[in-house]
Chains A and B, each alone.
Chain A
């Protein structure tokens, strides 16, 4: 909703690679906010619709490690011991975070992109730890022409977003974000790249409040540049 460019970029890349992309227009959310807040019944009412609508897709590609983890890892938990348990497992098995899909399912690391800038990559926690996806985004960045990747200290440390956590404990969330921004700033990068929009919203929110020249950008947006 906040970052349409991410979705648009992803569609363009997939189509450039010769895939047919469908977008279930009536799906809005995977149900993670309610799930993470402990309201599993309410989460199921949203997630149940996702299960139904994506039943026939060959593969489901998600431009966020966090939503990806929800479909892949948490749907089977959410629907365990319900009549939709099997459906949840089936959806889990064919759901991919975008970079994981490109690299590990399609075997693509060069999408023909060019992005002349010095960047640092922030690992979104869900993509990194729930999905175990550390290498794919870096492999894709390595395939971008004129891009220089500089790893930051503690690239794997959480940015402090954490969904409703950011609003429930804003002071802790902000402190975490400040530590993250400081690590990124120390690399001298112009851009902080991530494959998770929510991390980028947190980091960008802090950077613009600090008046920092460092910018944030989603991995898909970089890959769509030429």
Chain B
């Protein structure tokens, strides 16, 4: 018998006896009644609250970004976007960037006027490693958590948004979603027929607390995350 058959056989045999439901033998039941059962379909109502209007969501995204040490900039025109990029380029002395095909990434590359390592097709990892920034688009922003939702299709593959020391996201404000639930719904409606092989929720620049639980940014991934939202 193969390992597969053995494991599946053991699982089926084990499951002939049903386990007690969660909370059936909970603690703190005392005289205070059993736990309420919310049902699995409605978890949104227990998670951190997100407002209904665009303004509330932007405000929440901004608050989350500040806490995460993400640089979030809401811009009102293409000119402002161009100016913001040039300011970043000059402040950190970028010499070369990585990027991919896209409407806003094209605007960014044109504005920056630097050599670009493109990750749309097979590329040289060592060349990408030498880039000062990775400029990508994304599938969505998530207000609830201050996250950027990317996939290998929307953000130029797996490495572009994690290998260079600075990740710059260029995105239109229509892509701001309320919460994680909405993010997963979007993924489903957009890709269900053929999912990209990589999906990631990026929530702030890379970090670690492994030394005395003290926060340090840029553990392995980008030290900086900038979101330029048009």
Residues of A within 8 A of B (CB): 72-73, 77, 96, 100, 104, 129-133
Query: Does residue B215 face the partner (Cβ distance < 8 Å to A)?
Result: no
Question: Judging by beta carbons under 8 Å apart, are A104 and B27 in contact?
Answer: no
Task: Provide the residues of chain A in CB contact with B59, threshold 8 Å.
Answer: none
Query: Does residue B4 face the partner (Cβ distance < 8 Å to A)?
Result: no
Q: How far is the CA of A130 from the CA of B29 in the complex (A)?
A: 7
Query: Does residue B10 face the partner (Cβ distance < 8 Å to A)?
Result: no
Residue of B25, B29, B31 most packed against chain A (CB within 10 A): B31
Q: How far is the CA of A96 from the CA of B31 in the complex (A)?
A: 9
Task: Provide the residues of chain A in CB contact with B27, threshold 8 Å.
Answer: 129-130, 132
Interface size class of B (residues with CB under 8 A): under 10
Q: Nearest B residue to A76 by beta-carbon distance?
A: B25
Q: Nearest B residue to A101 by beta-carbon distance?
A: B31
7 A–B pairs (Cβ distance < 8 Å), ordered by A = A96-B31, A129-B27, A130-B28, A131-B31, A132-B29, A132-B31, A133-B30
Task: Provide the residues of chain A in CB contact with B126, threshold 8 Å.
Answer: none
Name B's interface SS: loop
Query: Does residue B213 face the partner (Cβ distance < 8 Å to A)?
Result: no
Q: Nearest A residue to B32 by beta-carbon distance?
A: A132
Q: Nearest A residue to B28 by beta-carbon distance?
A: A132
Task: Provide the residues of chain A in CB contact with B28, threshold 8 Å.
Answer: 129-132
Those of B17-59 within 8 Å (CB) of chain A: 25, 27-32
Q: How far is the CA of A130 from the CA of B164 in the complex (A)?
A: 52
Q: How far is the CA of A131 from the CA of B25 in the complex (A)?
A: 12
Q: How far is the CA of A73 from the CA of B24 in the complex (A)?
A: 12
Q: How far is the CA of A104 from the CA of B32 in the complex (A)?
A: 10
Task: Provide the residues of chain B in CB contact with A73, threshold 8 Å.
Answer: 29-30
Task: Provide the residues of chain B in CB contact with A132, threshold 8 Å.
Answer: 27-32
Residue of A77, A100, A131 most packed against chain B (CB within 10 A): A131
Q: Nearest B residue to A134 by beta-carbon distance?
A: B28
Q: How far is the CA of A214 from the CA of B16 in the complex (A)?
A: 57
The distance from the CB of A132 to the nearest CB of chain B, in whole angstroms, is 3
Q: How far is the CA of A117 from the CA of B153 in the complex (A)?
A: 68
Task: Provide the residues of chain A in CB contact with B29, threshold 8 Å.
Answer: 73, 132
The distance from the CB of B25 to the nearest CB of chain A, in whole angstroms, is 8
Given contacts A130-B30, A132-B30, A132-B32, 15 further A-B contacts (CB under 8 A): A73-B29, A73-B30, A77-B25, A100-B30, A104-B31, A129-B27, A129-B28, A130-B28, A131-B28, A131-B30, A131-B31, A132-B27, A132-B29, A132-B31, A133-B30
